[in-house]
Amino acid sequence: MLSEDFASQDERFSRAFQVLAAGIDQKAFPGASLAITHNGRLVALKGIGRFTYDQNSSPVTAETVYDLASITKVVATTAACMVLYERGILQLEQRLVDVLPEFSGHDPRRQNVTFRMLLAHSSGLPAYVRLFERVRTREDLIHEALRLPLAAAPGSREEYSDIGFILLGIALERLTKQPLDRFCQAEIFSWLGLERTAFRPPWEWNPMIPPTVDDRTFRHRIVHGEVHDENACVMSGIAGHAGVFATARDVASFADCMLELGHQLVQPGTIQLFTRRESWPPGTSRALGWDTPSPPSQSGRYFSPSSFGHLGYTGTSLWIDPHRQLSVTLLTNRVWPDCASQKIKQIRPAFHDAVVEALK
C-alpha cells in the first residue's frame, strides 16, 4: 500500500492542475483522473472535470475507473511476460511458432519471429488491421490474426503493432494454460492489491466508469463499461493489446512496483531488463513492452533517459522516471464523443512539465 501525503496537492501542483483544467475548457477531454508518486509516496490523487461534456454528468473523482486502452500492454501483458520470464516459462529468444505453430506459413521469415521482437515491436507484423470488420467471434479474430502476412522482415524495423500484442496475449494463454484475464488477476492485480483493476469490469462498476465513445459505425451505441478498442471488443474484452480498466490509484501502485518501491512483483534485474531501451533495430525508442522518451515526448522535457512509459488511445498515459523516483498517471476519455480532437498531445507534455517543475 502506497503511503499518502497529498494534503497540500492543490497548492503544490496548482500549475499542473490548471493545465488539465485548460484542457477540459478546450475540449481536449471532458475529465481526468491523476496520480503522482514520488519517493514511494502518493503525493497527488485527484479527479478533474466530468464524465462527459454534459454539466449534469458525474464528476470525475479519485475512484473513477477508466479504460486504459494500450496501457494494458504494460500493466497486464508485459507484466505477465516478466513474471513468466522469471519462472523460466517464457524465453525472450523463443520463437513464436514454438508456442503458436499455427503462426507458421508459406513465408519462411515467420519462423524467425521471437517473443523479444513481439515485445519490442520489431516482429515485422503490421501495426493495425481492422479485423473486427471481417469476423464476429474471438476464435475467428485470432485465426485471422495468425494468418496476417508480415509487413517487414522480422527485426528489420520498429513498428508499433497491436497485432503483435494480440498474438503475444494468445501465446501467454498457451504458456499458462489459462485465459489472460484470469492469470493477470491472480498473479498481478490481486498480488499487488489492485482492487479496481480488471479486464471486463463487473457491471456494478459502471457508475464509476465514464463512457468512451458514441460509436455510430460498429456497435451503434454509446460504449460504456466495455472496451473501446473494436478488435478487443470482438475478443470479448480480453486481449493482449487492450481491455484493462483501472483507477489512477491502482496504476500508481503498479508504477511504484516498477520503481522497486512497492510490493514486489518481479526482481529488480527483470524490471531493468524489460524497461531498458533496446539496441536493435537502430533508432528504436522501444524497451520490452514499454516505450522510452524520444523528443518530442508526451512525457515532456524533463523525464530522464532511464524513464519508461506507455500511452493509451483513449487518452491514458503512465510515465515512470527511476532517476527521480517519480511516476505520473493520467487517465482521460479524450475519445468522447469521438476521436476527432488531438489536443491532448499538447496538454499531456505540458502537464508532465508542470509536475516535474513543482517537485524541483
3-4, strands of its sheet edge to edge: 3-4, 41-49, 31-38, 326-332, 316-321, 308-312
Q: Rounded to an integer, what distance in angstroms lies between the CA atom of residue 120 and that of residue 284?
A: 9
Distances (CA, A) of 125 to 184, 281, 342, 359: 25, 14, 26, 41
The secondary structure of 8-33 as a DSSP string is THHHHTHHHHHHHHHHHHTTS-SEEE
3-state SS assignment for residue 329: strand
The per-residue pLDDT for 77 is: 99
- Is this model's pTM higher than 0.85 or not? yes
**Cβ-contact 83, 89 below 8 angstroms:** no
CA–CA separation, 69 and 78 (whole Å): 14
Confidence (pLDDT) at 247: 98
Question: Domain boundaries in the chain?
Answer: 1-360
Q: What is the pLDDT of residue 148?
A: 98
Give 1-42 pLDDT, tens digit per residue. Answer: 789 999 999 999 999 999 999 999 999 999 999 999 999 999
**Collapsed DSSP state (helix, strand, coil) of residue 241:** coil
**What CATH homologous superfamily does 1-360 map to?**
DD-peptidase/beta-lactamase superfamily (3.40.710.10)
Helix boundaries (H) for the chain? 9-12, 14-25, 72, 79-86, 96-99, 115-120, 138-147, 162-176, 180-184, 230-234, 248-258, 268-275, 344-359
pLDDT of residue 2: 86
Helix, strand, coil % over all residues of the chain, rounded to 5: 40, 15, 45
Give how far Cα 160 sits from Cα of 21, 122, 290, Å.
31, 8, 11
pLDDT value at residue 86: 97
**Tens-digit pLDDT string for the chain (360 aa):** 789 999 999 999 999 999 999 999 999 999 999 999 999 999 999 999 999 999 999 999 999 999 999 999 999 999 999 999 999 999 999 999 999 999 999 999 999 999 999 999 999 999 999 999 999 999 999 999 999 999 999 999 999 999 999 999 999 999 999 999 999 999 999 999 999 999 999 999 999 999 999 999 999 999 999 999 999 999 999 999 999 999 999 999 999 999 988 789 999 999 999 999 999 999 999 999 999 999 999 999 999 999 999 999 999 999 999 999 999 999 999 999 999 999 999 999 999 999 999 999
